[in-house]
Amino acid sequence: KLTTSNYLRHVESMAKVPSGAGSIPHLNAVILGESLASEENDLIFPNVEFSGQALVSSPQKYLEMYKRSIEDPAGFWSHIASEFYWKEKWSKEVYYQNLDVREGPVKIEWFKGGVTNICYNCLDRNVEAGLGEKIALYWEGNEPEFDGKLTYNNLLHKVCQLANYLKDVGVKKGDAVVVYLPMLMELPMTMLACARIGAVHSVVFAGFSAESLAQRIVDCKPKVVITCNAVKRGPKVINLKEIVDAALVDSAKEGISVDICLTYENPTAMKRENTTWKEGRDIWWQDVVPRYPTNCDVEWVDAEDPLFLLYTSGSTGKPKGVLHTTGGYMVYTATTFKYAFDYKPSDVYWCTADCGWITGHSYVSYGPLLNGATVIIFEGAPNYPDSGRCWDIVDKYKVSIFYTAPTLVRSLMRDGDGYVSKYSRKSLRVLGSVGEPINPSAWRWFFNVVGDSRCPISDTWWQTETGGFMISPLPGAWPQKPGSATFPFFGVQPVIVDEKGQEIEGECSGYLCVKSSWPGAFRTLYGDHERYETTYFKPFPGYYFSGDGCSRDKDGYHWLTGRVDDVINVSGHRIGTAEVESALVSHPHCAEAAVVGVEHEVKGQGIYAFVTLVEGVDYSEELRRNLILTVRKQIGAFAAPDNIHWAPGLPKTRSGKIMRRILRKIASRQLDELGDTSTLADPSVVDQLIALAGV
Ligand code: WT7
C-alpha cells in the first residue's frame, strides 16, 4: 500500500521541480507536494506501476508541459499539429484570437491557411502507417447476439462509397447534411464521409422528437437527411423513420424542403416492408451506397473551414448551433484523447456516449480514430438484458479504457455489486466520467468496485462549446480527490471570477471562465455571432464564460459545482428550462410554467415544473400526463418533467420577474430556507404553493 511519504519519494525520484513553477500559483501546492501529507484521507494515489508507464508520469512532467503550453502556445501546438497530414502548412501566426468584446468582434482562428482533411487524418493516414488491418470499430448490437467489426481498411472503403454517393447527388463543400442515426457503425461512417467531401454534418441525437429535428433542419437547411428505419433500445422498437417523416413535413411548412432522405435499413429492428416511405425522396442506403467505388478523392479544406454543427440548449428557447472548424478541433480532440486516457496502441476503448452529443463526436469518433484506436460502438441500453451488460461487453472485447457518465454509474451502483463482480474486468486500465460533477460516493464505487481500486478515473470537465477536455486528471500523473476534475489540460487557463469579473486567486469559489483560446474552441453560433458574443464573452469581458460554477481548494484542485444559468443537467444532458417551459405553455390548458432543477438520485438533476392553468380548467391526473406527453413530443423523452406542481400563481417580483430561487427551495422542500419573500408582488402565492406541494 502506498503512503504519502512513499508517493512523495516516488515523485521526487521522477524529476526535479522546474524553476519558475511559482508562476502558476494554483498549481504549486500539488506540484510541490507541500500539502499532501495533511490531506492523506482525501487523496487517492496513483499506482506506481501505472505512473511508470504513463505518458505523463508525474506532476513535474505535467508542469513542464503545461508551462510550455501556456508560455508558447504557438510552439506547443504547432509541434503537435505537425504529426498530422497537412496538404499545405498554416501561416506563420499559428493562431489569432480576440476574446475581448471591448476590442472588437470575438474571433478565434487556429492554423489558418493550413490545408487538411480530418477524415484523411483519421483513416488514410492510419492505413498508410500500417494500421489497415487493425480493428477501427467493433459494433455491439442491442441484442447480445448481434455484433460486427470494421478494420481501418474496411472503414475507409465504406466511407469512400458513401462520400461518392453524396457527391453524386450534389452535396458540395460547405453544404449541410443532417444525420439522425442510432449507434450503428454507419453513424461515425457518415460523419467521416461528410468530412471527406467538406460537407458540414449536423448530427441530431436520435432521441429528439420530430419537432426538435424539424427546428434543426429549418435552421441549417441540409441538402440531404441521413437516417435509418428503426432501432431497438432494450426491449422497445423505436420507429425513427416516422419521426423523420413528420419532421420533414414540419420543415416543409417552414419553407425548407429536403430532396433526399437516405435511409439505412436496420434489419435487426425493422424490415423494409414495414417502413413508411415517400417515393422520389426516400432511398435505401443498401440499394445505392455499395454500388459506388471504394476510393474517393479528399476535398482539402482550410483549417478554419466548418467541420460540423451541433445544436445545444441555452437559457432561451431556441437551441444554439455550435460551430466547430477543422484544424484546431482535429489537433485538440486527438491530443486530449491521448493524454487524458493515457492512450496506448494496444488499448480497446469504449465510450458509452451517443454520437448525437459532443462526447460522441470528439471521443467516440474523431479523437480515438485520429489516434488509430479501436473503438466500440454500442447500440443498446446498459441495463439490457440486465445490469451486467456493460461488464459483459468489457470482457467480450477486452476493453481497457471505459468512459461513461455519472448517471450510469449511479444507476448501476443501485442495482448492486453482484452484476459487476460476476465479470472479470481485468482488461480495464483507465476509467472516465463526463457530463456532470461525479459525486464522491459514485466516484468511490466506480473506482473500488468497477476498477478494483486499480484504474485511475479521468473526470473530464468540458462542454459542447469547448470541443474537447478542459479540466481533467491525467491518469497516473498526480493523486486524485474523488469528485474533483483536478487540473487544466495543456493550453487551458481556467480562471475563477467573482460577480464583477475579477479573477480570484488561491482557495476560492465563483464563476468558471477561461482566459485565452485553445485549438478546440467553437468559433461561432451558426447564423448568430451576436448571440455567441452575448452569451459567452459579454458576461465577463476578456474571458470565455462557461456557465458553470467552480471552486478551487487549497491544493489547487478544481471542483465543478454545476450550472449557474437557467440550464439544467439531466443524466448528463443539457436542457434549457426555457425550452421545457415553452413546450408546456404550448398546451392549450397551460397558462404559464416555470421549470427548475431538483436533485435526483440517479439523473443528477430532475425536471420540476410549476404549472399555472388557464381560467376554468381544473387540474387532473390526465392533464398531468398530457403535459408530460407534450414535452416528450416537442423535445424528446429525455426532457420529460419528473414533477408537475400545480401553481395557482407564481412568485414574481413587482416587475413581473419569476423568483426561481424560491421555486428551487419549494421544489426541494427546503421550506425553512425560502429567504426573504417580502419583495414579491404577492407573498401569499408562496403559501399556496407550499399547500399544493403534495398534490
Ligand atoms: C455541461 C456541458 C461535454 C460533455 C457532455 C456534456 C457539465 C460536463 C462535467 C464534469 C462537472 C460537467 C457542465 C458543463 N459537465 N462534464 N466532468 N464535471 N460538470 O456536454 O451538453 O455541452 O454540457 O455539462 O455543467 O457546462 P454539454
354 in contact with ligand 1, CB cutoff 6 A: no
For the segment 340-353, the average pLDDT, to the nearest whole number, is 98
548 in contact with ligand 1, CB cutoff 6 A: yes
Ligand 1: centre distance to CA 434 (Å): 6
Using CA atoms, how far apart are residues 281 and 268, in angstroms rounded to an integer?
24
Nearest residue CA, atom 3 of ligand 1?
Answer: 463
User: Does ipTM come in above 0.95?
Assistant: yes
Which residues are annotated as catalytic?
Answer: 565
Give yes or no for a contact between 266 and 227, defined as CB atoms under 8 angstroms apart: no
Residue 19 pLDDT greater than 70, yes or no? no
Per residue in 223-272, pLDDT tens? 999 999 999 999 999 999 999 999 999 999 999 999 999 999 999 999 99
Beta strands in 256-372 (DSSP E): 260-264, 282-284, 301-302, 306-312, 320-325, 348-351
407 in contact with ligand 1, CB cutoff 6 A: no
Cis-peptide into 479, omega within 30 deg:
no
Q: In this structure, what is the dihedral angle of CA atoms 360, 361, 367, 372, given to the nearest 10 degrees? A: 80
Ligand 1: centre distance to CA 246 (Å): 31
CA angle 357, 358, 362 (to 5 degrees): 130
Nearest residue CA, atom 12 of ligand 1?
Answer: 436
Beta strands in 105-172 (DSSP E): 107-110, 115-116, 135-140, 147-151
231 in contact with ligand 1, CB cutoff 6 A: no
Cell digits of residue 415: 442495482
Residue 9 pLDDT class (50, 70, 90 cuts) = low
SS3 390: helix
Please, is 625 exposed, middle or buried when counting C-beta atoms within 10 Å of its C-beta (0-12, 13-18, 19+)? Answer: exposed
Residue 41 has what pLDDT? 52
Cell digits of residue 609: 415544473
Ligand 1: centre distance to CA 86 (Å): 32
Residue 292 CA to chain centroid, in angstroms? 34
362 in contact with ligand 1, CB cutoff 6 A: no
Give yes or no for a contact between 552 and 494, defined as CB atoms under 8 angstroms apart: no
- Give 661's contacts (C-beta < 8 A, 6+ positions apart): 675
Ligand 1: centre distance to CA 543 (Å): 19
Return the ligand 1 atom nearest residue 547 CA. Answer: 26
SS3 511: strand
Using CA atoms, how far apart are residues 435 and 415, in angstroms rounded to an integer?
21
Ligand 1: centre distance to CA 488 (Å): 15
Using CA atoms, how far apart are residues 557 and 576, in angstroms rounded to an integer?
29
pTM of the model: 0.94
For the segment 180-191, the average pLDDT, to the nearest whole number, is 98
Per-chain mean pLDDT for the chain: 93
484 in contact with ligand 1, CB cutoff 6 A: no
464 in contact with ligand 1, CB cutoff 6 A: yes
Per residue in 189-223, pLDDT tens? 999 999 999 999 999 999 999 999 999 999 999 99
Residue 695 has what pLDDT? 72
Nearest residue CA, atom 21 of ligand 1?
Answer: 574
Q: Is residue 400 left, alpha or beta, with left meaning phi > 0 and alpha meaning psi from -120 to 50?
A: alpha
Per residue in 371-415, pLDDT tens? 999 999 999 999 999 999 999 999 999 999 999 999 999 999 999
463 in contact with ligand 1, CB cutoff 6 A: yes
The single-letter DSSP state of residue 103 is G
462 in contact with ligand 1, CB cutoff 6 A: yes
Return the ligand 1 atom nearest residue 573 CA. Answer: 21
Per residue in 598-622, pLDDT tens? 999 999 999 999 999 999 999 999 9
Side-chain-side CA neighbours of residue 296 (13 Å): 31
Ligand 1: centre distance to CA 348 (Å): 24
CA distances, 168 to each of 165, 180, 197, 291, 464 (Å)? 5, 21, 11, 12, 32
Give yes or no for a contact between 462 and 470, defined as CB atoms under 8 angstroms apart: yes
For the segment 562-574, the average pLDDT, to the nearest whole number, is 93
312 in contact with ligand 1, CB cutoff 6 A: yes
Cell digits of residue 324: 466547430
Per residue in 465-522, pLDDT tens? 999 999 999 999 988 999 999 999 999 999 999 999 999 988 899 999 999 999 999 9
Ligand 1: centre distance to CA 568 (Å): 11
Nearest residue CA, atom 23 of ligand 1?
Answer: 463
Return the ligand 1 atom nearest residue 572 CA. Answer: 6
Q: Which residue from 434, 446, 487, 567 has its CB within 8 A of the most atoms of ligand 1, so it is best to mutate?
A: 434
Give yes or no for a contact between 645 and 598, defined as CB atoms under 8 angstroms apart: no
Run of H or E including 101: none
Using CA atoms, how far apart are residues 150 and 161, in angstroms rounded to an integer?
15
Beta strands in 87-152 (DSSP E): 95-98, 107-110, 115-116, 135-140, 147-151
Residue 460 CA to chain centroid, in angstroms? 10
Please state, for a pLDDT cut of 90, what percent of the chain lies above it: 86
604 in contact with ligand 1, CB cutoff 6 A: no
Residue 160 pLDDT greater than 50, yes or no? yes
Nearest residue CA, atom 6 of ligand 1?
Answer: 435
Q: Which of 20, 355, 49, 47 is nearest to 201 (CA)?
A: 355
50 in contact with ligand 1, CB cutoff 6 A: no
Q: In this structure, what is the dihedral angle of CA atoms 165, 167, 173, 178, given to the nearest 10 degrees? A: -40
563 in contact with ligand 1, CB cutoff 6 A: yes
Nearest residue CA, atom 7 of ligand 1?
Answer: 436
Q: Which of 571, 514, 148, 578 is nearest to 359 (CA)?
A: 571
Ligand 1: centre distance to CA 460 (Å): 8
Residue 61 pLDDT greater than 70, yes or no? yes
Using CA atoms, how far apart are residues 222 and 258, in angstroms rounded to an integer?
7
Q: Which of 40, 23, 124, 120 is nearest to 505 (CA)?
A: 23
SS3 527: coil
Phi, psi dihedral angles at 333 (to 5 degrees): -65, -40
Using CA atoms, how far apart are residues 412 and 398, in angstroms rounded to an integer?
20
Return the ligand 1 atom nearest residue 546 CA. Answer: 26
Q: Which of 375, 329, 318, 330 is nearest to 352 (CA)?
A: 375
Strand 147-151 relative to strand 176-180: parallel, antiparallel, unpaired?
unpaired
